[in-house]
Structure formats: structure tokens, C-alpha cells
Structure 1
Amino acid sequence: MINAIDPNQLLTQLRAMQAQASPEQVRPQQDSAPSERLDFGDVMKQAVNQVNSLQQSSSALKTGFEMGDPGIELSDVMIASEKAGVAFEATVQVRNKLIEAYQEVMRMSI
């Protein structure tokens, strides 16, 4: 029996792994002042840049493996490739949800 992937659970796990992988990032505090708000555009730009860096890293590993670099294992290449693929797919899904939300707002009557 094949279990379906729950997108909300996947997103939660991705966020947890991201937090573990990059502890040097400044995380917003719960009790921060209202003037210290996050800009949505900046958050999206950062997310796209992270996906881009994962894809570039994956590409570099693939190229190194294909060129015969003895320090690069096939398992490392496959893991990096899958991470980049999952990150890209998650980004596309977020974009799709944003477009749906925008279209729904535009359909609302004033």
C-alpha cells in the first residue's frame, strides 16, 4: 500500500530541517516589536535564493562525479539532487497557492 504524502507535514519537516541546517540565520523573536516586521518580498526572495543555491550545489556535485572526482560519492550526488528537487517542488507549490489566493482576492466584490 502506498501512503500519500501530506504537504503540510512535508513543509513542517522541511522548515525543521532548514532551521537545523542554518542556525546562523536570525530567527524572528515572538516578543519582537511591531516595527520589526518581516517583508514578504524579502522572505520569498530568500527562499528562491536558497532553492537556487541547492540547485547549483547539486549541479556542481553532478559535474564533479561525472568528471571522476574520487571524493564525490554517488549517494551524495543523489541526496543533493533530491534535496534540490524537493525544494524546487515546494517552492512551486507555494507559488501556486499564492496565485490562487491572489485570484480569490481579486474575485471578491467590494
Structure 2
Amino acid sequence: MLQVNPFVSALQQMRTLVSEAAGPSALAPDQPNPAANGSIDFATLLQQSLAKISASQAASRGEMQAFQLGASNVSLNDAVVDGAKAGIKFQESLQIRNKLVSAYTDIMQTPL
């Protein structure tokens, strides 16, 4: 019977998640795929995340405006749910920013 090392399995799952998160659909056409050469740039991931949050908020605003204008293909439920999703994504990004600032402050206050 073949036994799989749990660390190897966890590493493979993390690599799969990273490649999905940094997939070609998340990149602008002129940007190289950072997962292609095995390295992932933090600034690129941050920029992509912020772009996704901004797009989510813009889509939510557009859907809410379409509902307010009486578009027949937009329901109130869909508009409210998409608005809530965009709000949650924004709050999540704020929490991540707060954790990064806290970590940076802790590192800067550490005596050498």
C-alpha cells in the first residue's frame, strides 16, 4: 500500500491553491504569470486582490443602479447579496491591512 506523506500532500494542496489564485484569468494581458516560474511576487498578488475587490464593488454598484432604474433582469435579492459580498471582501482587505501594519510595527519595535 502506498502511503502519502502528509507534508507532501499539504504542500501540493498549497501549490494548487496558489496556482488557482494567481491563474491567468486574474492577470492583466500584459502581465507575466508569476506562478509560471515558481515565484510569486507579493506586490503582484496584492495588486490583483485589490483589483478583484474594486471590480466586485463596481459590479455591485452597477447592479444596484440597474435595479433602481427598473431593469427587469435584476432582482433586489441579487443586488443586495452582491452588495453584501463586496462589503465583506472590503472588510476582509481592511483586516488583512491591519494585521500587516501590526506585524510591521512589531518587527520595527523589536530590539536588535
TM-score, scaled relative to structure 2: 0.68
- For 2:24 and 2:85, the matched residues in 1 are separated by 18
* Match of residue 74 from structure 2: 72
Could you tell me which runs of 5 or more consecutive residues in structure 1 were left unpaired when the two chains were aligned.
1-15
Q: Give the number of aligned pairs.
A: 87
* Match of residue 59 from structure 1: 61
Write the letter of the residue equivalent to 1:48: L
- For 1:90 and 1:80, the matched residues in 2 are separated by 15
Could you tell me which runs of 5 or more consecutive residues in structure 2 were left unpaired when the two chains were aligned.
1-16, 27-32
Cα RMSD (Å)? 2.5
Equivalent runs, 1:1-110 vs 2, <5 Å: 24-25=25-26, 28=35, 36-110=38-112
TM-score, scaled relative to structure 1: 0.69
Percent of residue pairs identical: 26
Write the letter of the residue equivalent to 1:70: S
Report which of the two structures shows the higher radius of gyration computed on alpha carbons.
Answer: 2
What's the offset of the Cα at 1:23? 8.8
- For 1:50 and 1:67, the matched residues in 2 are separated by 26
Write the letter of the residue equivalent to 2:107: V
What's the offset of the Cα at 1:37? 1.3
Structure with the greater relative contact order (CA < 8 A, sep ≥ 6): 1 or 2?
Answer: 1
